[in-house]
Chain A
Amino acid sequence: MHNNLYTYCLRLGDTSLILGQRLGDWCGHGPVLEEDIAMTNIALDLIGQARAYYSYAAEMEGKGRTEDDIAFLRSERGYFNVLLAEQPNGDFAMTMMRQFLISTYQYYFYLELKGSNDATLAALAEKSVKEVAYHQRHSSEWIKRMGDGTEESNQRIKNALEACWLYTGDLFDADDTDREMVKAGTGVDLQKIKPRWESKVKEVFSEAGLEFPQDVFMVLGSRSGRHSEHLGHLLSEMQVLQRSYPGATW
C-alpha cells in the first residue's frame, strides 16, 4: 500500500511536471503577450503542484530525498506521466488541444480525489482542482475560438485533435495500482470519471464544430513507464544541469 501511494504521487507529479516543462518552452515565443503569460502561468501552477506531490512522496519514502532528487534523477522508464503530456508543443492549436484534454481530465480526477481517505492527497487535490479549473476554461475557450474561427484555424485544430486523440486512452488505462488504490479508498476510479470527461469534451467539441472521434487505436503504456520517443529528449534538456553538476543548488 505504501508503495502504491508513492507510485500514485509520482504519476500525478510527473504529469504536472512534464506538461509544465512543455509549456515553459513557450516562454518568450507566445503568439501574443497575453497567451505567453497565460501558458507560463499555467506552467507555474503545474510545476507548483508537481513539487507538492513529489515532496509528499519524498516524505513518505523517509530516506531523506527531496523533491529535486525525485524530479531530476530518473530515466524515461522511471517516469509515469500520461503520454499526452510529453507530446511536442507543435503549433498553438496543438498546445491548446493537449491542454484542454489533460486539464479536463485533471479537473474531474482531482474533484474525485478530494474524497480520498489520505488527508494529504485530499488537501492537495482540493488545491489543484481550483487551479486546473482555470486551465480548463482557458483552453476550452481557445478550442471553440479556433474550431469556429477561420478555415486555417479550423484545419489546425482538427490536425491537433488527430495528433492528440490516440493518447487519450492512456488517461483512463487503469492498472493494478489504480485498482488497489480505489479499493483502499485512497485513489480515483478512472471508469467513474471517464464519462464525465467524455461529456465535457463532446460539449466543447460540438460548440467548436469538431467531431468526437470514434474507434481510434489507442497507444497505452504510461503506467509502466513506456513512453513515446519524445520524453527522452525532454528529459535530457530538463536534467542536463543536475546531471552535469550533481547536487547543484542555487
Chain B
Amino acid sequence: MPATINRQRILQRIREIPDPEVPVITISDLGILRDVVFDGNHAEVQITPTYSGCPAMKAIEDEIVTVMREEGVEGVKVKLVYSPAWTTDWLNEDAKERLRAYGIAPPGKTSSDKNLLAVHPKEIKCPRCGSVNTVLVSPFGSTACKSLYKCESCLEPFDYFKCH
C-alpha cells in the first residue's frame, strides 16, 4: 500500500471503471461518475444512479471502494446524487459507437417533447448490418436499461439501450 495517495492516478482509475454489464464503456462515459472529493486520506465519490433498480450500481460501488483501498485511501464514502437526473444524453458519440460495435444499438437523443407518454421509438438501426428494417420485440429487455429488437434484414435479435 502506498504511503501517500496519488490523486491523479486514483482519478484515472476511477474514471476507467467499466460498466459491469457492458465492459466497453466506463462509468465516466455513462455520466454515472459525478465527482471525487479528497480530504487528506479520505475520499467521497459521488455517483448518479441510472435506472432506480439497476443492480449494477452495487457492483460499481464495490469496485470504487476496491480501487480506493488498493490506492491506500483510508476511508471512502460512495454517495448517491440524484440531481441533476441521469439521462442517456450524457453518453458521448464515441461511447455510443463503442456500444454499437459491442452489439447494442445506442440510445437516440431524448425528445424535447415533454409528454413522455406520447414518445414513440424512432427508427432503430441494427448494430450489426445497419438496416433500419427493425422491429420492437419487447420494450423490456435483458436489463432495466434495454429493449429487445429484431432485425428483419439480417434476422438477428439485438438489444437497444433505451432513451432515458
Contact = CB atoms under 8 A, between A and B. Distances in A.
A60 interface: no
B25 interface: no
A41 B144 contact: yes
B52 A137 contact: no
A10 interface: no
Interface stretch (B68-76, B79-87, B99-107): B79-87
B82 A133 contact: no
Interface in B116-164: 116-117, 119, 137-142, 144, 148, 162, 164
Interface stretch (A73-81, A118-126, A176-184, A220-228): A118-126
A48 B116 CA distance: 20
B52 A38 contact: no
Interface in A100-134: 107, 119-120, 122-124, 126-131, 133-134
B52 A45 contact: yes
Contacts of A44: 51, 53, 55, 144
A15 interface: no
Given A45-B52, A127-B52, A128-B52, A133 B148 contact: no
A126 B84 CA distance: 9
Task: Select the residue from A41, A124, A131, A138 with max chain B CB neighbours within 10 A.
Answer: A41
A137 B141 CA distance: 15
Nearest to B116: A133
A138 B139 contact: yes
B144 A123 contact: no
B52 A34 contact: no
B116 A129 contact: yes
Question: Interface range on chain B: under 10, 10 to 19, 20 to 34, or 35 or more?
Answer: 20 to 34
Contacts of B55: 44
A144 interface: no
A182 B96 CA distance: 42
B82 A124 contact: yes
B116 to A, nearest CB: 4
A37 interface: yes
B1 to A, nearest CB: 28
Interface of B: 49, 51-55, 80, 82-86, 116-117, 119, 137-142, 144, 148, 162, 164
Interface of A: 34, 37-38, 41-42, 44-49, 51-52, 55, 107, 119-120, 122-124, 126-131, 133-134, 136-138, 200
23 contacts: A38-B140, A41-B144, A44-B51, A44-B144, A45-B52, A45-B53, A46-B52, A46-B53, A49-B52, A51-B52, A52-B82, A55-B80, A107-B116, A126-B83, A130-B85, A130-B164, A131-B51, A133-B116, A133-B117, A133-B119, A137-B117, A138-B140, A200-B117
- A-B pairs with the 6 shortest C-beta distances? A48-B53, A48-B52, A123-B83, A123-B82, A44-B53, A133-B116
